[in-house]
């Protein structure tokens, strides 16, 4: 890893690729053998080189690094190595966030796309820890691309985050769902600030879809958080005169009003013995 980082500083792309290839082969070997700790260690090494390459704006190296992880993830999944899969998800998030910070749209899109696939697979397998990691990583990329005003990537990342949140709701992973809603709220309000209309609109729609799934699954806290998040985005959209997001949020809130959200809030307050904090706080 130290050699790889030195080569990044020297911008020696040919030899960086050779180092990454060597680390990848080792990671794949350990994953096939079910050696989780060693696999995680190699994932960390590869991630550090990829992140350094992103900061150095060596996009071919960043893309190469991101494309190494899926094959390792496949083997880790076969061996039921959940901690290694969590490490891969977080690696995608860190590299994707760093790439977005340098306005590398291709790299950020690849990272979020790979995470979207991981999220759907994790939720369908009932892997809660991995699903939460994917949601967190997508949120980090989403916030970064929004801040950099990379509208197309931001919108696609929001869609992937929304889909993973819905999949988590279907599996009744309420902690994961709450995180997804809060991250979408943060991205949505950031998109309003940056005047990214499509991203703001997609954030609202994604929260609405997650809330509906939460309602079907009886996830009361997640349902209430969806309403809170929509209210927050609606308020910010009105404040910034971004009327499309405001209208979409208002229409979405009509659905939740029919579910008697106020009664639900009273019910949850009684359950929490009067604790004054909204769902998702402290996750």
Residue pLDDT, tens place only, 129-182: 999 999 999 999 999 999 999 989 999 999 999 999 999 999 999 999 999 999
> What pLDDT was estimated at residue 19?
94
Domain ranges in the chain are 1-257
Low-confidence residues of the chain, pLDDT below 50?
268, 271-283
Q: Which residue has the tokens 């639900």?
A: 264
> What pLDDT was estimated at residue 23?
96
- pTM of this prediction? 0.88
> What pLDDT was estimated at residue 259?
59
> What pLDDT was estimated at residue 261?
59
> What pLDDT was estimated at residue 250?
82
First to last CA, the chain: 33
Q: Which residues of 118-155 are buried (b: 16+ CB within 10 A; e: fewer)?
A: bbbbbbeeebbebbbbbbbbbbbbbbbbbbbebbebbb
In three-state form (DSSP H/G/I as H, E/B as E, the rest C), the secondary structure along 21-83 is HHHHHHHHHHHHCCCHHHHHHHHHHHHHHHHHHHHCCCHHHHHHHHCCHHHHHHHHHHCCCHH
Average pLDDT of the chain, as a whole number: 89
The span from the CA of 41 to the CA of 30, in Å, is 10
Q: How many CB atoms lie within 10 A of CB 276?
A: 7
> What pLDDT was estimated at residue 251?
82
Q: Phi/psi of residue 184, each to 5°?
A: -65, -35
């Amino acid at each position: 890893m130290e050699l790889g980082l030195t080569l990044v500083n020297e911008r020696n792309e040919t030899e960086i690729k050779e180092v990454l290839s060597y680390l990848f082969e080792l990671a794949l070997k350990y994953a096939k053998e079910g050696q989780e700790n060693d696999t995680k260690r190699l994932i960390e090494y590869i991630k550090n080189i990829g992140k350094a390459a992103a900061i150095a704006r060596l996009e071919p190296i960043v893309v190469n690094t991101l494309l190494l992880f899926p094959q390792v993830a496949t083997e880790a999944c076969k061996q039921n190595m959940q901690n290694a899969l969590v490490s891969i998800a977080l690696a995608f998030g860190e590299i994707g966030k760093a790439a977005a910070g340098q306005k590398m749209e291709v790299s950020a899109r690849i990272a979020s796309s790979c995470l979207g696939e991981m999220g759907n697979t994790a939720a369908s397998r009932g892997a809660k820890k991995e699903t939460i990691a994917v949601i967190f990583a997508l949120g980090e990329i989403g916030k970064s691309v929004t801040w950099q005003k990379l509208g197309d990537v931001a919108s696609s990342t929001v869609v992937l985050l929304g889909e993973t949140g819905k999949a988590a709701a279907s599996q009744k992973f309420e902690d994961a769902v709450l995180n997804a809603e809060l991250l979408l709220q943060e991205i949505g309000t950031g998109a309003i600030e940056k005047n990214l209309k499509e991203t703001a609109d997609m954030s609202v729609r994604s929260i609405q879809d997650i809330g509906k799934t939460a309602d079907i699954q009886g996830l009361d806290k997640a349902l209430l958080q969806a309403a809170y998040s929509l209210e927050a985005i609606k308020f910010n959209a009105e404040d910034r005169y971004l009327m499309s997001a405001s209208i979409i949020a208002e229409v979405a809130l009509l659905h939740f009003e029919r579910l008697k959200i106020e009664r639900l809030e009273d019910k949850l307050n009684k359950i929490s013995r009067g604790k004054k904090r909204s769902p998702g706080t402290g996750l």
